[in-house]
Amino acid sequence: MARIKVGFDIGGSSMKAAVVQGGGLRVETVRLPEKLMDENGITMPNAFSQFLKQTVKELRLPHGPAALALPASQVICRLVSMPEMNQEQLMMNLPYEFADFIQGAPDQYFCDYALCGKVPGDEEGTMPMMAAVASKRQLEQYIRMFARAGVRLKKLVPQEMALIELCRAQAGGEGPGEYCFVDLGHQQTRITVVVGDRVQATRRLNFGGRDMDLAIAEELGVDAFLAGTYKMGGQQSALAVPAVADVCERLAVEILKVVNFYQFTYRSSNLAGVYLVGGGAALEPLRQAIENTAGLPLLEPGELLKAASGSAADGLFAAGAAMGGG
């Protein structure tokens, strides 16, 4: 019997679950209750555990070890190059690579890494790697919350590593693939360029779907939660709000900046287009703004998850976490 792997991804307004079995993939998306998440993460751990337990039951998700794609706001993942050394030396020195990004004593954080294959341009005597750091307290909280729901987290991975796992599976043995992802989250938007087993460019923007919700709410005189429902339902009176177009245009310009920087830095690059993922992937004003401003075609996330049942655009991080879940 094919081994079953389960992955989760917790966004600002929804949670995604992916079940990988053999060549099949099931993706499920459920909206989070109001006020369960804010910009700092989960606000009510016990309530989240109850929500997760009920979700696992209702969706009939398999029991057993699972993987979680960590929210980008709670982990730092970056491409670094360090002199060749043994593992003990590497783990001693790795925290210093994040000295400018963390607060508090280094022993309050957990560091990990994944070595990258050598490519032309890498210096001799160095080890390129994708390295990550996260708060031990935050990681332990996730493990406890999932355990209370009856789910054992076997692996916690940055979303960047989940994308790399996904791209690796897509490329197969055909060499390093080249992908650009735009993840429109509820509170933030992240642009990521993945090449082979490394992230070559990334940018995080402090605006997302919530900005559209607030603009729609003000224009239509409703609360933000209902505005989000109108938006995701494709209601034209909501999507035609001028401030929505402004957010879409700002995002398109930022995508263009990242793509231009990447293509200037890596002259041999060959990006075929952009994968728009996350809760706002289906918004037509956003899709049009990206195609018109960035000058790159939008590719369908379903191409990366050919066997998926459910929303491929929503489930990439959860699916990548499951694929790399060991």
Give the architecture-level CATH label for domain 4-74+137-210+240-323: 2-Layer Sandwich (3.30)
**What ranges do the domains of the chain cover?**
4-74+137-210+240-323, 76-136
Query: Which tens digits make up the pLDDT trace of 26-48?
Result: 889 898 988 888 877 889 999 99
Task: Quickly name the fold that domain 76-136 has.
Answer: Dna Ligase; domain 1 (3.30.1490)
In this structure, are residues 8 and 321 in contact, taking their beta carbons and an 8 Å threshold?
Answer: yes
The two three-digit tokens of residue 274, written as one number: 């952009």
What is the pTM (predicted TM-score) of this model? 0.84
Residues 292-317 as b/e (b if ≥16 CB within 10 A, e otherwise) read ebbebebbebeebbeebebbbbbbbb
Residue 101: Cβ within 10 Å count: 10
DSSP symbols for 283-308: -HHHHHHHHHHH--PEEPGGGT-TTE
The conformation of residue 152, written as its DSSP 8-state character, comes to -
| Phi-psi map region of 196: left, alpha, beta (phi>0 left; psi -120 to 50 alpha) | left
| Mean confidence (pLDDT) of the chain | 86
**How high is the pLDDT of residue 237?**
77
- Give the pair of three-digit tokens for residue 13: 């307004």
Which tens digit of pLDDT belongs to each residue from 66-104?
Answer: 999 998 888 999 999 999 999 999 999 998 899 888 888
The runs of H, that is alpha helices, within the chain are: 45-59, 87-93, 136-148, 159-171, 209-220, 224-232, 236-239, 242-265, 284-294, 312-323
Rounded to 5 degrees, what angle do the CA atoms 25, 11, 164 make? 55
For 174-224, write each residue's pLDDT tens digit.
Answer: 556 788 898 888 788 888 998 888 998 888 888 888 888 888 888 888 888
Of the listed ranges 233-242, 255-264, 288-297, the least confidently predicted one is: 233-242
